[in-house]
Structure 1
């Protein structure tokens, strides 16, 4: 089995025809057919069902197609890594993060990183906690920052730190005189919560169930920035990550109150990567920088 044969197999699969694959690769269709026959002989299985309309994968062919994509992705990654080794100042890094952490972790960190590595391109995508995990596993993200995930063998948690949620209230809210609040106290007032896609929403609901209370949800949103703005305009209580609650203009008159049950729950924010992923040099550089600040 050789890479050339796998390349021909992949192109025939993409094109659905030996002839179209031959035209695209600028080789004779007979050469492609011969390589495919060699593959089928090596594997002891037919890979394509042939008909006058073209070809389609057999069950064995579908299994090989999945592996071939992984092989070519790995080769592409190795080529990229070798290029990066020639010049560690260049490269691309993709980060997936939950919103509540991104503002506090990335803004200053990326500013320092850019000064040191101005040719490294960093793409940061804001996702919910489960989507961050999915991005890491599908390798559409190199580095993930999420929270509240159970230990998964596929992920390497580089560093953990305690996460904190706060009940954020205007200074004239009835709870503003408190130093901390319970979910039972929060349940007495209409509130603004992150939408159900957020891991912190699941945490809030789990702890509310344990406390035997039901929150009065007036609004919910998948934008933490919008929730913060709505607290300001409506005068209602909102629940936000503590870092997001404090990330505000000095003119906004909020007070962030720790929530007793959630502080006791011990939920953690995690900096993580896929365990089997070979990290390119620029990824390692940014990961190390983030780990220092985490």
Structure 2
């Protein structure tokens, strides 16, 4: 048994799927299944209950998962401490990030930071914001980018980006001729939302309720590009950040501003308060300050 086997097992648990975990760590599903089976044989226990369709941990699997989290976190901190001793921004920074943020916001940040610190590897874990909160809390990622607001005393929270939501609609929809649309005008429209693992799912529902109605949900998806394709197929409307529109290569989609009070897409970076912050992670935060992405007043002293 080695640390990589435990990490692969943890990835299966985090993804709740052998197929998704295999894709995330660039292994074939049979190879991943073989690794987990070997781990079970070495430990002499079943880690997963294979009698049901849903992937479920056994009691032994829950113990192994909990201890694996501690072991991987300790190993990561060991590397970070040694990097700090050398005072070099090296190593890996594991960043939890929702897919939409990964598409719209993060590529340019990653490019500019990597050019400045080529010895630091930014490893992205793309999941819904709700899952990312869990990963930060369990110390499985170094930091996460999530949708605000969040109230959690375990985290340092840095406001990150704020922009307006727009309405995304088929260009022949009756509302497409308008230059601005009120949320209340959408009460009879079928909505295409992110799935329940994503904070935007609850956020859009909340904004509609504030406007006096509960949205009619036609479809849910974990992929923003599929949401756009459903809208392009006239199967519903969507509310997404306005910066998504330049990424869309579909002539059937129109983006329309939403009238005041305009719902805002507010992002924040979260780090666990009592976790050791590596030199590389501090360099990333300093870089974000230098780029005016987060404000100096929102940063904290190292490892406070």
Gap regions ≥5 residues in structure 2 = 1-65, 294-304
Distance 2:271 2:124 in 1: 15
Choose 1 or 2 for highest CA Rg: 1
Per the TM alignment, residue 97 of structure 1 is displaced from its structure 2 partner at its CA by 1.5
Per the TM alignment, residue 146 of structure 1 is displaced from its structure 2 partner at its CA by 0.5
Which position in structure 2 is the counterpart of 1:288?
286
* SS of the residue 2:208 aligns to: helix
Distance 1:75 1:110 in 2: 25
Are the structure 2 counterparts of residues 262 and 217 from structure 1 closer, same or farther at C-alpha, using a change threshold of 3 Å? farther
Per the TM alignment, residue 70 of structure 1 is displaced from its structure 2 partner at its CA by 5.7
Distance 2:229 2:71 in 1: 48
State whether structure 2 residue 153 is matched by structure 1 residue 157. Answer: no
Which position in structure 2 is the counterpart of 1:177?
177
What pairs with 1:36-47 in structure 2 (closer than 5 Å)?
Answer: none
* SS of the residue 1:203 aligns to: helix
Which position in structure 2 is the counterpart of 1:125?
125
Distance 2:151 2:287 in 1: 23
Which position in structure 2 is the counterpart of 1:139?
139
**Residues 157 and 273 in structure 1, CA contact (< 8 A), matched pair in contact too:** yes
State whether structure 2 residue 241 is matched by structure 1 residue 241. Answer: yes
**Residues 191 and 237 in structure 2, CA contact (< 8 A), matched pair in contact too:** yes
The CA deviation string for residues 120-164 of structure 1, in whole angstroms up to 9 with x for no partner, is 221111222221211111111111110133332211112343243
Which position in structure 1 is the counterpart of 2:254?
255
The CA deviation string for residues 33-74 of structure 1, in whole angstroms up to 9 with x for no partner, is xxxxxxxxxxxxxxxxxxxxxxxxxxxxxxxxx99x869955
Per the TM alignment, residue 235 of structure 1 is displaced from its structure 2 partner at its CA by 6.4
Distance 1:215 1:73 in 2: 41
**Residues 194 and 239 in structure 1, CA contact (< 8 A), matched pair in contact too:** no
Distance 1:262 1:129 in 2: 24
Match of 1:272 among 270, 290, 297: 270
Distance 2:130 2:75 in 1: 28
Greater fraction of residues in helix: 1
Count how many residue pairs are aligned between Structure 1 and Structure 2: 227
Gap regions ≥5 residues in structure 1 = 1-65
Which position in structure 2 is the counterpart of 1:13?
none
Distance 1:243 1:178 in 2: 19
State whether structure 2 residue 220 is matched by structure 1 residue 215. Answer: no
Are the structure 2 counterparts of residues 196 and 72 from structure 1 closer, same or farther at C-alpha, using a change threshold of 3 Å? closer
**Residues 73 and 140 in structure 2, CA contact (< 8 A), matched pair in contact too:** no
Per the TM alignment, residue 193 of structure 1 is displaced from its structure 2 partner at its CA by 1.7
Distance 1:146 1:176 in 2: 31
Are the structure 2 counterparts of residues 293 and 94 from structure 1 closer, same or farther at C-alpha, using a change threshold of 3 Å? farther
Distance 1:72 1:128 in 2: 22
Per the TM alignment, residue 210 of structure 1 is displaced from its structure 2 partner at its CA by 3.0
Per the TM alignment, residue 177 of structure 1 is displaced from its structure 2 partner at its CA by 1.9
The CA deviation string for residues 208-230 of structure 1, in whole angstroms up to 9 with x for no partner, is 22333232322221211211122
Are the structure 2 counterparts of residues 185 and 92 from structure 1 closer, same or farther at C-alpha, using a change threshold of 3 Å? same
**Residues 96 and 132 in structure 1, CA contact (< 8 A), matched pair in contact too:** yes
State whether structure 2 residue 112 is matched by structure 1 residue 112. Answer: yes
Distance 1:203 1:98 in 2: 14
* SS of the residue 1:214 aligns to: coil
